[in-house]
């Protein structure tokens, strides 16, 4: 899908849809429509009675989705953390597959006015859904130094988080930190060293974006709902782009596939008393091929994990 300034290339397109093992008669969820690459390929695999329900927080993604005129398809301007409620409203119970493609999209990065990138001088917005919520500039204006430091440290894994927060708070006492260029300059003053080839502002921009959009919390909620929605034999495929996301996905899938591993060692239980797995891991994590990375460098950090639902009922609350 082409925008005014960017072309969005869907990462792991064929691999993700193949992993879902699409049943022509099935019902599927695309939790992150983006510009519709995965959705279009799923629709190609569905029969006339199949169904695809897609979600996205970004109004521009929703506008792009209007180009798909297909009675089997519906697109909702809603976070994927609310997929369960929306599907219930649609009269849909269990589904055959859920695909989540996590993180910021190329159009969001490349449209300078969105404020996601320090490559452009633009208002500090960073919201995936520009119709609601607090902007990055508004948050930086009200948050105290400790909160700013914690966000940059925890979500950006930035070792100079305290120094950056101190710079931001000092600067805003003179004028608001309202643009990407202002923030990038402040971070550059506080970061003494950085890995070769990485801009000093990279980690801080990532951290603030994750916080503004509550991305990790949304992911955790979506994983739990996806598990509850899957039919036995249904597939969950999740593509993530950085270690914080992948850690949540990996741990969630492992916990559901190996629930007995959390029990104290030596507990006197028979085999039939042990908690049974609700998911089975499908092979190893998948990464973009050398050819895909060469064609689309942003795919180099992508990692996809896939699991299949077992017939074991969800007898305990999913964290």
User: What are the binding residues?
Assistant: 36-38, 56, 80, 101, 108
Can you say which residues are annotated as belonging to the binding site for S-adenosyl-L-methionine? 36-38, 56, 80, 101, 108
Task: Report the DSSP pairing between strands 286-287 and 303-309.
Answer: antiparallel
For 111, 187, 215, the CA distances from 190, given in Å and listed in that order, are: 27, 5, 26
The Cα 301–Cα 292 span in angstroms is 11
What's the length of the chain?
319
Q: Are 102 and 239 in contact (CB under 8 A)?
A: yes
13 contact partners, CB below 8 Å, separation of at least 6 = 37, 38, 41
**Rounded to an integer, what distance in angstroms lies between the CA atom of residue 65 and that of residue 223?**
24
**Cβ atoms 106, 298 nearer than 8 A:** yes
Closest CA to 125 of 135, 110, 117: 135
DSSP state of 78: S
User: Which run of H or of E encompasses 279?
Assistant: strand 279-281
User: Which residue's entry shows tokens 């093992």?
Assistant: 21
Contact 65, 119 (CB under 8 A): no
């Amino acid at each position: 899908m082409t925008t005014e300034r960017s072309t969005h290339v869907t990462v792991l397109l064929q691999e993700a849809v193949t992993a879902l093992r699409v049943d022509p008669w099935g019902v599927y969820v695309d939790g992150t429509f983006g510009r519709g690459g995965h959705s279009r390929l799923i629709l190609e695999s569905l029969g006339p009675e199949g169904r695809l329900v897609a979600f996205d927080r970004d109004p521009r993604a929703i506008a792009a989705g209007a180009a798909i005129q297909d009675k089997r398809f519906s697109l909702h301007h809603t976070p994927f953390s609310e997929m369960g409620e929306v599907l219930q409203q649609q009269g849909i119970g269990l589904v055959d597959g859920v695909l989540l493609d996590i993180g910021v999209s190329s159009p969001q990065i490349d449209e300078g006015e969105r404020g996601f990138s320090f490559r452009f001088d633009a208002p500090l917005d960073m919201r995936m859904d520009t119709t609601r919520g607090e902007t990055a500039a508004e948050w930086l204006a009200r948050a105290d130094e400790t909160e700013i430091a914690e966000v940059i440290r925890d979500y950006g894994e930035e070792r100079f988080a305290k120094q950056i927060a101190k710079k931001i708070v000092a600067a805003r006492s003179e004028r608001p930190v309202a643009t990407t260029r202002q923030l990038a300059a402040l971070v550059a003053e506080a970061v003494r060293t950085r890995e070769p080839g990485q801009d000093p502002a990279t980690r801080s921009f990532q951290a603030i974006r994750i916080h503004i959009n509550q991305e990790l919390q949304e992911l955790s909620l979506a994983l739990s709902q996806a598990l509850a929605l899957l039919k036995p034999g249904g597939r969950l495929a999740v593509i993530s782009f950085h270690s914080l996301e992948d850690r949540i996905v990996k741990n969630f899938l492992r916990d559901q596939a190996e629930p007995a591993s959390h029990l104290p060692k030596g507990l006197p239980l028979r085999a039939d008393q042990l908690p049974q797995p609700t998911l089975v891991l499908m092979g190893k994590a998948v990464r973009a091929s050398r050819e895909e990375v060469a064609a689309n460098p942003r795919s180099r950090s992508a990692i996809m994990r896939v699991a299949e639902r077992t017939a074991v009922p969800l007898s305990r609350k999913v964290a």
